[in-house]
Amino acid sequence: MDVKPRLPRGRQFFANPGPTNIPDSILKAVAHVSIDFNDPAFLKVYDAAVAGVKRILKTQHEVFLYTGSGHAAWEAALVNLFSAGDVLLVPETGHFSDSWGKMAKDFGLGVRTLAADWRRGIDFAELRGVLAADSGHAIKAICAVHNETATGMVLPLAEIRAALDATDHPALLLADTISSLGSMEFAMDAWGVDVAVGGSQKGLMLPTGMSFTGVSPKGMAAHAGSTLPKSYLNWTNMLTRRHKSFIGTVPTSLFYGLEESIRLLEEEGLDEVFDRHARLGEAVRRCVRHWSGNNGPSLFCLSPDRYSNSVTAVLMPEGHDAEAVRRIALQTFNVSLGGGLSRLGGKVFRIGHLGDLNEPMILGTLSTVEMALRLAGVPHTPGGVNAAIAYLAEVAQGS
Amino acid sequence: MDVKPRLPRGRQFFANPGPTNIPDSILKAVAHVSIDFNDPAFLKVYDAAVAGVKRILKTQHEVFLYTGSGHAAWEAALVNLFSAGDVLLVPETGHFSDSWGKMAKDFGLGVRTLAADWRRGIDFAELRGVLAADSGHAIKAICAVHNETATGMVLPLAEIRAALDATDHPALLLADTISSLGSMEFAMDAWGVDVAVGGSQKGLMLPTGMSFTGVSPKGMAAHAGSTLPKSYLNWTNMLTRRHKSFIGTVPTSLFYGLEESIRLLEEEGLDEVFDRHARLGEAVRRCVRHWSGNNGPSLFCLSPDRYSNSVTAVLMPEGHDAEAVRRIALQTFNVSLGGGLSRLGGKVFRIGHLGDLNEPMILGTLSTVEMALRLAGVPHTPGGVNAAIAYLAEVAQGS
Amino acid sequence: MDVKPRLPRGRQFFANPGPTNIPDSILKAVAHVSIDFNDPAFLKVYDAAVAGVKRILKTQHEVFLYTGSGHAAWEAALVNLFSAGDVLLVPETGHFSDSWGKMAKDFGLGVRTLAADWRRGIDFAELRGVLAADSGHAIKAICAVHNETATGMVLPLAEIRAALDATDHPALLLADTISSLGSMEFAMDAWGVDVAVGGSQKGLMLPTGMSFTGVSPKGMAAHAGSTLPKSYLNWTNMLTRRHKSFIGTVPTSLFYGLEESIRLLEEEGLDEVFDRHARLGEAVRRCVRHWSGNNGPSLFCLSPDRYSNSVTAVLMPEGHDAEAVRRIALQTFNVSLGGGLSRLGGKVFRIGHLGDLNEPMILGTLSTVEMALRLAGVPHTPGGVNAAIAYLAEVAQGS
Amino acid sequence: MDVKPRLPRGRQFFANPGPTNIPDSILKAVAHVSIDFNDPAFLKVYDAAVAGVKRILKTQHEVFLYTGSGHAAWEAALVNLFSAGDVLLVPETGHFSDSWGKMAKDFGLGVRTLAADWRRGIDFAELRGVLAADSGHAIKAICAVHNETATGMVLPLAEIRAALDATDHPALLLADTISSLGSMEFAMDAWGVDVAVGGSQKGLMLPTGMSFTGVSPKGMAAHAGSTLPKSYLNWTNMLTRRHKSFIGTVPTSLFYGLEESIRLLEEEGLDEVFDRHARLGEAVRRCVRHWSGNNGPSLFCLSPDRYSNSVTAVLMPEGHDAEAVRRIALQTFNVSLGGGLSRLGGKVFRIGHLGDLNEPMILGTLSTVEMALRLAGVPHTPGGVNAAIAYLAEVAQGS
């Protein structure tokens, strides 16, 4: 390659779909001196933060928090609800639905996959068929990844709930909302989600390190019968503690960040936050669609009703390596794009557009991708950024 | 009580034995913008930090890291090494040996406790007896809490290793070094520790959120035969990943702090760090011993050879509540002391003296405790701080 | 000296009388990204901060702010009020009254000094005499240093005002409140101060870099007739600008700190802030008085009614060097004390006790000084810290 | 206007030509706790920073530093060099040459202006003529603004030096390098600059609050004869002090930032820093040139050999208000542009492209300006960003 790396200067554009940009005010809040997690001053912050997480999950139910990444919360959902041999249904979305399924197998659970084309998503008629056919209710739960970070596609949870209801199936509905919460509409109680899995490092704009699960009363009932061994993540143990969460030391500094995160999200208004993600996501898609002319890179997702507003996967034309584009963006222009995961490695790159993001940030990112395409010799129709500019100006006009 | 709370002003003195004071340079390092955990710039920091952790553990073996608190690393040690029904021997030290034992039971492990007076610690002859008697080697491992944070006592690990060797017992030696690592001598390989459990928030002076285990080859061999279910904490899964640790997102910001933590510890020199803790710990003990005249509060630990240099538990005279002392220290003077845990609740308060600490910090703390004793009407011989001053000046003279 | 320096660990105790300790929340506020100083979002912060400075000065009049240190504000007062040949009366307090006088001479002003013993302060009868004798009103202004940072003595401004009133003297009253504002009672309007000079780096707990002058209508009238050349500090120029202050770029980041400083001071309440300084200052004095027995170091100030509550100068016994004490405190214990200025060099050290300070901080400082006295071989009666502890506990009891 | 303001989200793009973007590492460095400015640990940082400033100025001579903004350094140059009645020649560049001239008049200096069209800059033949005609050497100095921040034009200093040399004129050459230093080539000694005026808040990427002057031996000789009154800014006073700069308290926290600033500039290499500014500046100009088709906004500067690489002024088409464009950029897209100063108010907006800047930042900015032009109904040829993208990709290819 002729493109020389440069020493990174200016702030890095972090367009990786997770973790995500952390606002300065949250970075400062997190840089908090140590405090006793039983200090009344901390407990006030703590209780308010937990209440805020419930408002963002849109739930009235229990929330359990973990010092851990999103995978810890996945595991918490599994070990707290199930017993060895229980069967789960996993609608295939991509890398993350696969991973959650594999984790379930690690705990001796049966996993049935509702297969899907990664570019189109599952067929809901098929889902209803599977549920209807399960008259013995062998399926104890559906593990649904609301927003598949690896493909940039949404799995409509309300339709899963509708399929369960239509078939009178008692399976629990578990939803991974890690890369959707705080970026796209999510409504735990309204959608009948029994366990919602979230993390700190995406729409909540915090460093990685804390995850949580909202749990419905039906989920708590299932927990009571669960026999998988557990301790660090055990909800029953947690309920005996003052914090009703966390076994061991509480990661206090993240709560100062969470307090600020909730303030920022609610100052803007969740609906406005979602609108912002929607328009920035659409700008990215219009840009990619423009590039795709002339045999250029194209949107990986082929189902427009399932576009993600927090991440877009861009499929490279045959014979071109996504990693070359990423490398130029990072090494020459200080822009971090996401790579393709598992079977998509090298085939797609991903643009994260979630969290603390605005128009100039996404337009600077798209401009850089266009430079990188050019420099990597990837065919494309130049001018994608124009399409994004035109769209975003139009939205601002109307607003 | 007549003592009115005041709005906290000045920096809080954090004399709670964990988490501990975080130096400004670490707070700033941790306030790091997001970075892709596969970014070469991060990997350089990461690899160096892991190497640094090995130097601090004094091990050449594997180290696995977790997004989690110390309890996650406890759990990692258990689920990676054992199978249901395996029997562990837990030398009783106090609250934390109890808790680790309870966690083992949560996983269906058999737990035999080597009982001890919490103020004196176990009898090593008794330990040798137990091991010698276990000719069938039912005991798979000893779970030893190196420094019992709840009582301020050390459990000499080299003597446990000696007991195992003397009895030719093949049990693994697991050591919780959470509140000793980076504050007191710890030598994983030299002491024949098979699994060393550490955390970020004590001697490493980081926020809570990361923990780790060093694992000897013998530990890895045991891991190969372990059948307890695991996923998030599974060492085998970890070894397949670039980071050889962490399932899921890596908590990148803590690594920038860890890089600085290691730099600080090694700039001072580990031996000098231990010396500093030793002299500050001894200053605390001389102060408490002075107070104890006249029926005052006294050192909880009755075995001078097992004093902890990172935390001191102070036993209240009969009829006096440790919580009253803590409340005054916190609410009137902005000093955070540790409370008594489990059966020691109200009976002791604890002075943490670990991490980023110096003479004026500990003397300001002791001065405050003396004020709080006075204000709470607790009998004591005034002038404990003088004893500490005299001692610390003498040490500085000689140094 | 036998006392070996050590690598500084723990937070430095900054007991230097200026600048002073900056609370973490102010440090974070000051670390603010750049903002246009005409941005409406900044102007809101700016206007509120200026209003807050007026409340702290206790004035309804103009306040002009400068990018500059306290000396810039001294100069601003001189060049904006006077014309070459004007005569000023400077009550001698110590190093800083001398320096202000020298600055006046740099601008061709006449300076008459009202001489005083630095340990006792001026005689007010003498002041009245001088004013009464000046029947031609040659004296255009009195330049009074409210709190002499070099000696730890207060010059009672209300008595100066009384002397002016009693003699019907029209001289302006200029007051340097740099090391008193925000730490000790100061009331610009009530005391008839015409120009009050303040800075960012003492009671306001900000970094060095901004200073200001409150100006009475009488001061503004004098300004109208002033002919000394000026530009950067010219009040008339400033009044034409949106900010009514600052020639050139506004130091925006300090205003985010100032916003937080005012919030902290008013959250606590100015009277409570003054009380806190009073009790911490008294604790220092009781400690020093205790040491002074046995031919030890003693309070420099010999007039108890003029003790400063923000700084205490401690006079060494004959034949002992204050710098040796300071060096040990700094190099071995990481405590920064102030040194003696000009003719007091080596003869006194100074303990700053202003700003964001609490009991454990001052007790840790005093404990360290006691260690340093011991190590430097300075005679003293040990136990000064006890006296401070007893006093501070007693005050807390009563409060 | 139809364009609704939005709550600012994401990081603000600060494209205002001063102050400029502060890198995170400098923000953190500046958030430094108080330190005694005579503390050896600080003096080490201080001395190294002053040496670094000399390397950046490319001078071997004296440098004096001030707690003050750029205007303080302007004033320092004037009061330290001249006496009332001295005559200065000011080559007209725009708002800032006017302002410096006005300041000189405030000090009773004679000011002769070498008039120029603000869009084209002075004529050097005319300059030579003026100097040749001044056979009596009434002109004591030329006050040259190297980079006129208000118009985005450079005044070639080497040509001024050449004109002085060609006419054997002994006038001092004073250069304001406030908005060029650290962004564009500047060589104090090689160019025969006698006094170079710089500030913290532009190419050095620091907060506003410190400024400085490099002074040649010829400048020091002139200083010796200067009779303008001075104190706070007096070089002779400064030379008596340990720091050889600063009257009064030293703004220590800025020096921690300066240490990091110098490290960043030298890590990249000054020539590479200048190249980066050159290519980003050219990208802006290509974009504006594209817009200018179709009667759109155009480059204010009409002399391509005098383009500034740190700021570009963009001239609005007749009948369109630059403030409307700025308002939309700020309120709807969180991008801060500079406005027109003095007679250019409303006629131009300015894009700052200096300091810690990279390709995506400038492309995001230009994209936003294009949206704002569209929304404000300003005629322009869309696609300017494309031109910038094409150019920057081409440069990266070649590099």
Chain segment D223-274, per-residue pLDDT in tens: 999 999 999 999 999 999 999 999 999 999 999 999 999 999 999 999 999 9
Where in the sequence is the domain holding B315, given as residue range(s)? 13-21+269-398
Q: Identify whether A1 is part of a domain.
A: no
- Residues of chain C in contact with residue A33, where contact means CB-CB under 8 angstroms, are 24
Given CB atoms, is B6 within the 8 Å cutoff of chain D?
Answer: no
Enter the tokens of residue B52: 């640094």
d(C-alpha D178, C-alpha D198), whole Å? 4
The pLDDT of residue A398 is 78
> Which chains pack against A, by 3+ Cβ pairs within 8 A?
B, C, D
- D161 and D304 share a domain? no
| Residues of chain A positioned with their CB less than 8 A from the CB of C10 | none
Contact between C218 and C89 under an 8 Å Cβ cutoff? The reply is no
Query: Of all residues in chain A, what percent carry a pLDDT higher than 70?
Result: 99
Q: Which two tokens stand for residue A130?
A: 């599977």
How far is CA D214 from each of CA D76, D189, D195, D218, rounded to the nearest angstrom?
11, 10, 5, 12
User: Is B356 in the same domain as B309?
Assistant: yes
Query: Which of A266, A300, A319 marks a domain boundary?
Result: A266
Instruction: Give the list of residues 6+ apart from residue B309 with CB closer than 8 angstroms, or none.
Output: B183, B184, B274, B277, B278, B280, B281, B282, B353, B354
Q: Count the residues in chain B.
A: 399
Name the token pair of D116.
């120029």
Query: B-chain residues within 8 Å CB-CB of D34?
Result: none
D98 and D210 share a domain? yes
Among candidate residues C88, C129, C119, the one with its CA nearest the CA of residue C106: C88
Mean pLDDT of chain A: 97
Chain C residues with CB inside 8 Å of B397's CB?
2-3, 375
Considering CB atoms only, which of D8, D268, D385 is closest to A9?
Answer: D268
Disruptive mutation site among D39, D231, D240 for chain C (greatest number of C CBs within 10 Å): D231
Q: How confident is the model at residue C4 (pLDDT cuts 50, 70, 90)?
A: confident
Q: Which of A342, A341, A365, A370 has the alpha carbon at shortest distance from A355?
A: A365
C-alpha distances (whole Å) from A212 to each of A63, A70, B10, B65, C25 are 7, 8, 34, 20, 29
Interface probe with C: pick from B385, B391, B395, most Cβ of C within 10 Å: B385
Query: Which chain A residue has the Cα nearest residue B250?
Result: A208
Asked if D3 lies within 8 A of A396 by C-beta distance, the reply is yes
- Please indicate if any CB of chain C lies within 8 Å of the CB of B142: no
For chain B, the helix, strand and coil percentages under 3-state DSSP, each to the nearest 5: 45, 15, 40
> DSSP secondary-structure letter at D356?
S
Return the C-alpha torsion angle D177, D178, D182, D185, nearest 10: -20
Q: Quick one: pLDDT at residue D280?
A: 98
| Residue at C245 is within a domain | yes
CATH number at residue A41: 3.40.640.10
pLDDT at A71 over 70: yes
The answer to whether the CB atoms of B251 and A336 lie below 8 A apart is no
Q: Are C175 and C197 in contact (CB under 8 A)?
A: yes
Annotated binding site of D for substrate: 350
Residues A204 and A282 in one domain: no
Contact B40, A20 (CB under 8 A): no
- Is A276 strand, coil or helix? helix
Residues in A closer than 8 angstroms to D392, CB to CB, are 371
Tokens of residue C386, six digits = 């006890």
Residue D379 is predicted with a pLDDT of 97
Q: What is the pLDDT of residue D398?
A: 79
Q: What is the pLDDT of residues C329-369, one digit of tens each?
A: 999 999 999 999 999 999 999 999 999 999 999 999 999 99
Task: Return the structure tokens found at A348.
Answer: 């797609």
Q: Are residues A190 and A339 in the same domain?
A: no
Q: Does the beta carbon of B105 lie under 8 angstroms from any beta carbon of chain D?
A: no
Q: Is C315 within a domain?
A: yes
Cα C226 to Cα C214: distance, rounded to the nearest angstrom: 17
Q: Name the band, by pLDDT with cuts 50, 70 and 90, for residue C399.
A: low
Q: Under DSSP, is residue D115 helix (H, G, I), strand (E, B) or coil?
A: coil
pLDDT over 80 (residue A399)? no
| Residue at a domain's end among B240, B266, B292 | B266
Average pLDDT over residues A192-219: 97
3-class secondary structure, C31: coil
Calculate helix-pair angle for C359-375, B359-375, nearest 10 degrees. Answer: 120
pLDDT at C294: 84
* B386, B388, B399 ranked by CB distance to C382: nearest: B386
* Cβ-contact D72, D66 below 8 angstroms: yes
Q: C386 to chain B, minimum CA–CA distance in Å?
A: 6
- Quick one: average pLDDT of D286-305? 96
Check CB contact of A254 with chain B, cutoff 8 Å.
yes
Report residue A352 CA to chain centroid gap. Answer: 10
Report residue C70's pLDDT band, with 50, 70 and 90 as the boundaries: very high
Q: Are D226 and D312 found together in one domain? A: no
Q: Is B27 touching A (CB cutoff 8 A)?
A: yes
Domain shared by C120 and C45, yes or no = yes
- The tokens describing D240, both together, are 């008596």
In the structure encoding, which two tokens stand for residue D36, read together? Answer: 């005694």
Q: Which residue of D has its CA nearest to C355?
A: D34
Per-residue pLDDT reduced to its tens digit, C220-257: 999 999 999 999 999 999 999 999 999 999 999 999 99
Whether B66 and B175 share a structural domain: yes
Residues 6+ apart with CB under 8 A from D51: none
- Residue C173 to residue C218: CA distance in whole angstroms: 10
DSSP run (H or E) holding D50: helix D40-57
CB A381 within 8 A of CB A290: yes
**Minimal C-alpha gap between C163 and chain D (Å):** 30
Does residue D7 lie within any of the structural domains? Answer: no
Range in B248-252, D330-334, D370-374, D394-398 the model is least confident about: D394-398
ipTM rounded to 2 decimals = 0.96
- Is C4 part of a structural domain of the chain? no
Mutate to test the interface with C, among D232, D247, D260, D357 (most CBs of C within 10 A): D232
Pair B316, B170 in one domain: no
Q: Are D207 and D297 in contact (CB under 8 A)?
A: no
The H or E element spanning position D311 is strand D311-315
Q: In which band, very low, low, confident or very high, does the pLDDT at D399 lie, cut at 50, 70 and 90?
A: low
Inter-chain touch D28–B31, beta carbons under 8 Å: yes
Cβ–Cβ gap B28/D33 under 8 Å: no
Q: For residue B253, tell me if it sits in a domain.
A: yes
Distance from CA of C26 to the nearest CA of A (A): 11
Q: Which residues pair with C196 in a beta bridge?
A: C175, C214
Calculate mean pLDDT across residues D347-362. Answer: 98
SS3 B243: coil
Q: Taking CB atoms and an 8 Å cutoff, what residues of chain D touch B267? A: none
Closest by CA to B180, choosing from B139, B213, B149, is B149
Across A190-199, average pLDDT: 98
What tens digit of pLDDT does each residue of C162-198 get? 999 999 999 999 999 999 999 999 999 999 999 999 9
Do B197 and B244 share a structural domain?
yes
Q: Is some CB atom of chain A closer than 8 A to the CB atom of C33?
A: yes
Rounded-to-integer distance, Cα A206 and Cα A49, Å:
13
pTM of the full structure: 0.97
* Residue C220 contacts residue C233 (beta carbons within 8 Å): no
Over its C-alpha atoms, chain C yields an Rg (Å, rounded) of 21
Closest CA–CA distance from residue C26 to any residue of chain B (Å): 12
B30 interface with A at CB cutoff 8 Å? yes
- Predicted local confidence at residue B294, as pLDDT: 84
Q: State yes or no: pLDDT of A2 exceeds 80.
A: no
Are the beta carbons of B132 and B167 closer than 8 angstroms? yes
Chain B residues with CB-CB distance to A102 below 8 A: 231
| Binding residue positions of B for substrate | 350
pLDDT at position A294 is 84
Q: Residue D55 and residue D53: Cα distance in Å, rounded?
A: 5
CATH number of the domain that residue D383 is part of: 3.90.1150.10
* Residue numbering of the annotated binding site of D: 350
pLDDT of B4: 87
pLDDT in tens, B171-216: 999 999 999 999 999 999 999 999 999 999 999 999 999 999 999 9
How many domains is chain B built from?
2
Query: Quick one: pLDDT at residue B169?
Result: 98
Cβ atoms of B247 and B202 closer than 8 Å = no
Alpha helices by DSSP H, listed for chain C, are 24-30, 40-57, 70-81, 95-106, 124-133, 157-166, 217-225, 235-239, 252-268, 270-292, 322-333, 359-375, 384-398
Q: How many alpha carbons lie under 13 Å from residue B8 in its C-beta half-sphere?
A: 19
Residue B5 domain flag = no
Residue A276 lies in a domain: yes
Q: pLDDT value at position C306?
A: 98
Distances (CA, A) of B285 to B14, B78, B313, B369, B395: 18, 35, 10, 13, 15
B71 touches chain A (CB under 8 A): yes
Same domain membership, residue B248 and residue B288? no
- Partner-chain residue, chosen from A24, A31, A33, that has the shortest CB–CB distance to C33: A24
Please compute the mean of the pLDDT values over residues D191-213 and round it to a whole number: 97
B vs C, Cβ pairs < 8 A, gives 162
Domain end residue (candidates: D222, D248, D266): D266
Angstrom distances, CA of residue D215 to CA of A364, C338, D88, D148, D354: 42, 33, 17, 21, 25
Contact B388, B309 (CB under 8 A): no
Are residues A281 and A252 both part of a single domain? no
List, for chain B, all residue ranges whose pLDDT scores fall below the cut of 50. Answer: none
Burial bucket for residue C154 (CB in 10 Å: 0-12, 13-18, 19+): buried
**Residue D1 pLDDT more than 80?**
no
Q: Do A368 and D361 make contact, defined as CB atoms within 8 angstroms? A: no
pLDDT tens readout for residues D2-35: 688 999 999 999 999 979 999 999 999 999 999 9
